[in-house]
Amino acid sequence: MEVREELKYTKTHEWVRDLGDGVYEIGITDFAQSELGDIVFINLPAADDEVTAEETLGDIESVKAVSDIYSPVSGVVCEINEEVVDAPEAINNTPYEAWLIRVKDVTDTVELLDAAQYQEVCEHE
Amino acid sequence: MEKKTALYRMHEALGGKIVPFAGYLLPVQYPKGIIHEHKTVRENVGMFDVSHMGEFTLKGRDALANLNYLLTNSYDTLKDGFARYGIMCYPDGTTVDDLLVYKKHDEDYLIVVNASNCEKDYAWMKEHLFGEVEFKNISDEVSQIALQGPKAEEIVRRFTDRIPAKNYSFIEDVDIKGINVLLSRTGYTGEDGFELYCRNEDVCALWQLLLDEGVEPCGLGARDTLRLEAAMPLYGHELSDRIKPTESNLSFFIKFTKDFIGKEELEKELTRKRIGLKVIDKGIAREHCPVFCNGREVGFVTSGTFSPTLNCAVAMAIVDIDAAEENEFEIEVRNRRLKAEKVALPFYKRNK
């Protein structure tokens, strides 16, 4: 299982990349994609929608099960990764490149973990 | 505490993702994933550990009469060396279990039941048996591998010439590299294939022989997507103690020319039936999701998944009989209504 040093993580298995200027990119982790198995659909908010830290921002559907994606931040969605919406298997193949949404005007975040802390969370699951 | 099949260590060694299922710890998938395993079985050949299934023996002069009374199907015309599907009903017509009966000869049958129902079935049958019969639960002594896919015969031929030629036929005491196997041309995937029954102590060696021939191991996830595409019923979904086999369109396996438990109720007019749905909107409808037609709730999804062959979400549902004639439906999934259209079952049928 891969955990990247430069990213921050949530206990609910999302990753966050700080793009600067108050914009954050959000995806789901390698651990999460591996637990879900083959991902076939993803439901995301639209651009300009507001997302709220700790609340669901969408869901992700694998052959096995559906699970919620929780927003690590509060802010306004500025971009959706349409490529991933059209070909969600990208999340299985390259979870840290296959970002889901970008959020701007971030006012709040959940408690974010660094790579070592997140690694520990995974080991206890 | 869940039981482990004799193949448990093989599943772990192969990286199987282990989950509890029907009282057993079994792999839901191996590292390559459900879609890969599914396509492997459709296009090539794969194998499943189905040792959790229950096996009973029924012997004696009145064995046949008991089968005919306990099960909806008729076994009068079943020939030696053949197997036949059947359903066991309660007096109210709902379902105890669905199963497979293997006829060795007139007074010797093997019955294969669902793992989740094994104890219940055994008790039910024991309670209703009559006459001169000997009935035993041999589930803990028997292991089973399902070898499924268009290349299954080619694999088996590498080990033996004693191949059951016809669908639903079987041969006992087939020697596969010194392992005694009951080789049956049956399965639960909609493909050609075999089910190999052997003793627990031999199953790891048999599994290894098949692995060495390049057969890919597959888990419960692919088993479910494969049987669902083929519209095969699964107990707890299309059949249950609240669902009659007639409501799941299984009347072909009910013979009203004889007497059997549940007959009177099954003869009554149907109020609902099983249909196939293809989900148009994005999302997967899964079991229990309510189904709507013209704004009215008309039934529920019994099984639903993503179909790797059709590359879309499909579902089976039981709906009110009048709604079953309609073509457009909606399925409520996590507070959203997904559009769905009726399609003929099965979703997938192999070219023979």
User: Right CATH number for B269-343 from 2.60.40.10, 1.20.120.1200, 2.60.120.40, 2.40.30.110?
Assistant: 2.40.30.110
Would you list which residues of chain A are within 8 Å, Cβ to Cβ, of chain B?
Answer: 37-38, 40-41, 43, 59, 61, 63-64, 66, 92
Say if strands B336-343 and B272-279 run parallel, antiparallel, or are unpaired: antiparallel
pLDDT of B131 above 80 = yes
Which residue type, as a one-letter code, is found at position B154? E
Q: Which of B28, B225, B334 sits opposite A59 (nearest CB)?
A: B334
> A17-104 domain in CATH 2.40.50.100?
yes
pLDDT of B352 above 80 = no
Positions of CATH 3.30.1360.120 in chain B: 3-50+140-229
Interface test with A, best of B334, B335, B336, B337 (most A CBs within 10 A): B334
What local confidence, expressed as pLDDT, does residue A17 receive?
Answer: 97
Would you list which residues of chain B are within 8 Å, Cβ to Cβ, of chain A?
Answer: 17, 28-29, 33-35, 221, 225, 282-284, 286, 305-306, 308, 313, 334
Residues of chain B in contact with residue A38, where contact means CB-CB under 8 angstroms, are 33-35, 306
What local confidence, expressed as pLDDT, does residue A16 receive?
Answer: 97
Q: Return the HEC string of A78-92.
A: EEECHHHHHCCHHHH
CA distance B13 to B304: 30
Positions of CATH 2.40.30.110 in chain B: 269-343
What local confidence, expressed as pLDDT, does residue B100 receive?
Answer: 98
Return the closest-CA partner of residue B251 out of B36, B93, B58, B40: B93
Q: Which of A37, A61, A92 sits opposite B284 (nearest CB)?
A: A61
Return the closest-CA partner of residue B160 out of B146, B148, B177, B143: B177
CA-based Rg of chain A, rounded to a whole angstrom?
13
Query: What CATH class is the domain B3-50+140-229?
Result: alpha beta
pLDDT of B351 above 90 = no
Compute the C-alpha angle B105/B106/B107, nearest 5°.
95
Q: Would you place residue A125 in the very low, low, confident or very high pLDDT band (cuts 50, 70, 90)?
A: confident
Q: Which of A41, A43, A64 sits opposite B34 (nearest CB)?
A: A64
Chain B residue closest to A92 (CA)? B33
Mean pLDDT, residues B265-284 taken together: 97
Q: Residue B160 in contact with residue B174, Cβ under 8 Å?
A: yes
Residues A67-107 have pLDDT tens digits of 999 999 999 999 999 999 999 999 999 999 999 999 999 99
Measure B113 CA to nearest chain A CA, in Å: 24
Q: Would you place residue A1 in the very low, low, confident or very high pLDDT band (cuts 50, 70, 90)?
A: confident
Are B306 and A61 in contact (CB < 8 Å)?
A: yes
Residues B196-221 have pLDDT tens digits of 999 999 999 999 999 999 999 999 99
Q: Would you place residue B299 in the very low, low, confident or very high pLDDT band (cuts 50, 70, 90)?
A: very high
Are B306 and A59 in contact (CB < 8 Å)?
A: no
CA distance B16 to B3: 16
Q: Which of A43, A59, A63 sits opposite B34 (nearest CB)?
A: A63
CA distance B273 to A110: 48
pLDDT of B332 above 80 = yes
Q: Tell me the ipTM for this assembly.
A: 0.87
pLDDT of B82 above 80 = yes
Handedness of CA B109, B113, B115, B117 (dihedral sign): negative
Residues A33-63 have pLDDT tens digits of 999 999 999 999 999 999 999 999 999 999 9
Residues of chain B in contact with residue A63, where contact means CB-CB under 8 angstroms, are 34-35, 221, 225, 305-306, 308
pTM for this predicted structure: 0.94
